[in-house]
Amino acid sequence: MTTEINPQAAAAQPPTSKRKRALMILATVVVVAGIAWALWYLLVGRWHESTDDAYAQGNVVAITPQAAGTVVSIAADDGMKVDAGQVLVQLDPNDAQVAYQQAVANLANTVRQVRGLYSTVEAGQADLAARRVSVEKARADVQRREGLVATGAVSAEELAHVRDELTAAQAALAASGENLSRNRALVDATTVIDQPQVEAAAAQLRQAYLNAQRMAIVAPVSGHVAKRSVQLGQRVQPGATMMTIVPLEQVWVEANFKETQLAKMRIGQPVKLHSDLYGDDVEFDGKLASLGLGTGSAFALLPAQNASGNWIKIVQRVPVRIEIDRTQLAAHPLRIGLSMHADVALRDQGGAVLATVPQEKPVLSTQAYAKQLADADALIQKIVRENLAQGHG
């Protein structure tokens, strides 16, 4: 008995088998991919949080005058490198120099006047001693004549006369003592350098010296100049921004993570950073320095008001500060505002969420202005010495 094979059924059977095989392969790929993703998430993915909402930030130091003046010279322009203490803008120094010279003369004159006060005290002491001698002499004359009046050797008129001389000598002694006390009060328990009048004149000179020095506006930090707006001949006032300096070695990254990404973030966790400027060819090593204390909307100029009935929940973002390795910054400098990609490794959970120890040292400081005051004090001491007589001080 022979079985007849339907040609149409034989032709339809191979595509069905191919379809089943393809579906099996696809299912296998999906299962393997799911397992691989699950393994990746368990071993790697759940220990990382990343964002593209990150930007390079840094200190933007405004250069402002400390005294009013007219700009006569500009020594730095946009993009130039400057060092701390370098003169950036020079103001017309003539008025400040005149005030400085007047203060120098005033201090010298005050020192000489105070020196005269010490001499007056010494002269007053000598005068007081002489007055005491006169009083003792007059008193002795009175006592001697009082014993002779009864015998008639001395007249009553002469006795009255010597008594008047005694009274006058005592009055002169009292006046001399008051003058000495008044003059001594001006210099008592002081030296010339710390006498109040000298200290007031020294303070005026110190202020005049600083104003003269401030005609040369110096850079408080080293960095690169940005946004120069000052022009020659411009009359500037204290507090007006003339240019800014950006120390590029102090750049950090501010990454804005969603609030749902912050649960496992801790201070000190390592961060991998990439910038759009250099692409994936350059990777920066960073460290999570601090977690923001509020969302961006909370610190906005006009904070959101959610008390209305038309409220829609929006996932908020919190700024996270990330420090960058300084050597890598020197090799590949960043600019303020550049877009960054940040990937935080969360495996290390030993750090704190908030800083717990107060900062003992200043975060930022400058010594660009310290020498000015030291030079002013040295000048004051020099003027005092030059106008001070030996034996006082």
What the block records as the tokens of 336 is 């303020």
User: pLDDT tens digit string along 69-117?
Assistant: 999 999 999 999 999 999 999 999 999 999 999 999 999 998 888 777 7
Q: Residue 313 in contact with residue 336, Cβ under 8 Å?
A: no
Q: What is the pLDDT of residue 132?
A: 77
User: pLDDT tens digit string along 135-153?
Assistant: 777 777 777 767 666 666 6
CATH of 61-90+217-242, one of 2.40.50.100, 3.40.50.920, 3.60.21.10, 3.20.20.60: 2.40.50.100
- pLDDT at position 6 over 70: no
Matching fold, domains 61-90+217-242 and 95-212+372-386: no
Residue 59, burial from CB neighbour count under 10 angstroms (0-12, 13-18, 19+): middle
User: pLDDT tens digit string along 258-277?
Assistant: 999 998 899 999 999 999 99
Q: Residue 267 in contact with residue 288, Cβ under 8 Å?
A: yes
What the block records as the tokens of 29 is 């790929």
- pLDDT at position 383 over 80: yes
Can you say whether the dihedral through the CA atoms of 288, 291, 295, 296 is positive or negative?
A: negative
Q: What is the pLDDT of residue 1?
A: 46
151 or 362, higher pLDDT: 362
Distance CA 386, CA 389 (A): 8
Measuring CA to CA, which residue among 288, 301, 241 is closest to residue 262?
Answer: 288
Q: Residue 327 in contact with residue 244, Cβ under 8 Å?
A: no
Q: Residue 325 in contact with residue 253, Cβ under 8 Å?
A: no
Place of tokens 């990404």: 261
- pLDDT at position 222 over 60: yes
- pLDDT at position 220 over 90: yes
Residue 365, burial from CB neighbour count under 10 angstroms (0-12, 13-18, 19+): exposed
Q: Residue 245 in contact with residue 77, Cβ under 8 Å?
A: no
- pLDDT at position 207 over 80: yes
Tell me the domain boundaries of the chain.
61-90+217-242, 95-212+372-386, 251-302+310-353
Residue 234, CB-side half-sphere exposure with 13 Å CA sphere: 16
Q: How far is CA 188 from CA 109, 118, 185, 195, 258, in A?
A: 20, 9, 5, 9, 71
- pLDDT at position 177 over 90: no
Q: What is the pLDDT of residue 48?
A: 84
Q: What is the pLDDT of residue 391?
A: 47
Percent of the chain's residues with pLDDT above 90: 44
- pLDDT at position 392 over 60: no
- pLDDT confidence bin for 174, thresholds 50/70/90: confident
What the block records as the tokens of 121 is 């005290």
Q: If you average pLDDT over residues 311-334, what whole number do you get? A: 91
* CATH top class, domain 95-212+372-386: mainly alpha
Q: What is the pLDDT of residue 84?
A: 92
- pLDDT at position 8 over 80: no
Distance CA 221, CA 139 (A): 78
Q: What is the pLDDT of residue 46?
A: 73
Architecture of domain 251-302+310-353: Beta Barrel (2.40)
User: pLDDT tens digit string along 37-62?
Assistant: 777 777 666 778 899 999 999 999 99
- pLDDT at position 4 over 70: no
Q: Residue 211 in contact with residue 97, Cβ under 8 Å?
A: no
The mean of the pLDDT values for the chain is 84
- pLDDT confidence bin for 183, thresholds 50/70/90: low
- pLDDT confidence bin for 242, thresholds 50/70/90: very high
Q: Which segment of 139-153, 203-217, 268-282, 302-316 scores lowest on mean pLDDT? A: 139-153
- pLDDT confidence bin for 17, thresholds 50/70/90: confident
> How is residue 126 annotated by DSSP?
H
Q: Which segment of 101-110, 203-212, 305-314 scores lowest on mean pLDDT? A: 305-314
- pLDDT at position 369 over 50: yes
Q: If you average pLDDT over residues 362-368, what whole number do you get? A: 87
